[in-house]
Structure 1
């Protein structure tokens, strides 16, 4: 069995800075890690953590260093991909062995005994929306042709589906149709995970299930009205546990403290 934690949209900034003048995201991330430490007593062994983008809010080295110092408390190997708030140059400075030096994009594959994890870079520098470039699509297609009998967990920042949240769909993903074609041709059992939406949504692409994880920094409301207000709430977010054991299983875990447990 392979067990992977997914964190996303930590948007770390270093004090006294706050995201939008409101969110002390470093403290929120520290609190999230404390909650995860408590949860691990119940969850058992975890093989790795994937952080699906927007690690920092401004892409500065100081914030990445702060992120690293906090997540290392868990003592679990972790892998990162960029989101639209991240800067690849700073990430290369702060994280080792992200991608071959010949590529500007941060695409990678990590092999586990019964599962491959494929990280895809969807960033368009300077823009909120994302794109699966020809490079990323070719990387995905090649990665899926290797070990065709193994399942694959594909991690990306921008969701390859429309969420119904208008202001987020306006900065959605280009190249989702091309990705769907690649997935439809692959014999692998595939699950796709993403961030960006600060919300938990399940969809399908190319015959594969795709899930967005809630964030640690803030939450976005599910509001499909065309005139829905643009903004975030400070409602506690969450994270995901993805497992392979003769099939995929994905579990949402809240960051809010549990209430009293009542026996049956």
Structure 2
């Protein structure tokens, strides 16, 4: 099974530019690259920070861009998003019983679980008791089955202090780890938020964070503040096999 993974598209309906770049043109280029090189993908997942400003107009921009995209898409929320505005434009999106944008997709390669780590008013992420309880129930429905988990905020530190200060709440990350390890067959966890390709072993679980389709974060380990990086915009390609999960990172040439 091939899954295309995008993150941090940061569409902005106000002046259209974020970090001095045009996120709409860059996302358009990414979608063209996907169709040209990975059009056989079974699914595309965008791992949050869909917009920069959380406005309905930004979500309408995204809806318009995805209208003719030939691959099924799942959309996750990040700290720049607004849940109510998102759901107004994408009313078909599944939510849990508490209104969080959480759902599952059962596939021949196991269960995919999509989490909502948005906590309004915070740059960092949360998985409150309601969200963790929902996750526990979904894991218990498929004992022993392969599981892949997707969310916006990484639960692990990456060594860049600016980003580590606004990752998933450490207490919530610990609770998440307990649930995933108890299941016993979590094949991978994928996040966004950090605008870098990062690969980690987290409590015995394979995990990764994805780059942005717009702007990247500089690799400044231990620094007080991470600036903008010069890496090309990129997306991920996850290959889910019977006994393995492989993640590739595909860069694309941004529009001039």
What is the TM-score normalised by the length of structure 1? 0.89
CA apart distance, 1:94? 1.5
Equivalent position to 1:123, from 114, 118, 126? 118
Separation (CA, whole Å) in 1 of partners of 2:63 and 2:245: 28
Equivalent position to 1:29, from 27, 30, 50? 27
Aligned pairs (5 A) from 1:48-59: 48-59=43-54
Match of 2:81 in 1: 86
CA apart distance, 1:99? 3.2
Q: 1:87 to 1:234 in 2, by over 3 A?
A: farther
- Three-state SS of the structure 1 residue aligned to 2:67 is helix
- Three-state SS of the structure 1 residue aligned to 2:41 is coil
Separation (CA, whole Å) in 2 of partners of 1:102 and 1:177: 23
Equivalent position to 1:243, from 223, 235, 239? 239
Separation (CA, whole Å) in 1 of partners of 2:175 and 2:14: 41
Structure 1 runs of 4+ off > 6 angstroms? Answer: none
Separation (CA, whole Å) in 2 of partners of 1:256 and 1:182: 40
CA contact (8 A) 2:144 2:183 kept: no
Q: 1:15 to 1:39 in 2, by over 3 A?
A: farther
CA apart distance, 1:36? 1.6
* Unpaired runs of at least 5, structure 1: 258-264
Equivalent position to 1:75, from 67, 70, 82? 70
Separation (CA, whole Å) in 2 of partners of 1:17 and 1:119: 28
* Unpaired runs of at least 5, structure 2: none
Q: 1:47 to 1:96 in 2, by over 3 A?
A: farther
Aligned pairs (5 A) from 1:9-158: 9-14=8-13, 16-20=15-19, 22-40=20-38, 45-100=40-95, 102-158=97-153
Which structure has more RCO (C-alpha within 8 Å, separation ≥ 6)? 2
Separation (CA, whole Å) in 2 of partners of 1:99 and 1:200: 28
Equivalent position to 1:171, from 162, 166, 171? 166
- Alpha-carbon RMSD across the aligned residues, in angstroms, is 1.8
CA contact (8 A) 1:181 1:206 kept: no
Match of 1:6 in 2: 5
Equivalent position to 2:214, from 200, 214, 217? 217
Separation (CA, whole Å) in 2 of partners of 1:206 and 1:72: 39
Separation (CA, whole Å) in 1 of partners of 2:72 and 2:168: 28
Separation (CA, whole Å) in 2 of partners of 1:254 and 1:167: 24
CA contact (8 A) 1:198 1:237 kept: no
CA apart distance, 1:55? 0.3
- Three-state SS of the structure 1 residue aligned to 2:223 is coil
CA apart distance, 1:98? 2.5
- How many residues were matched structurally? 251
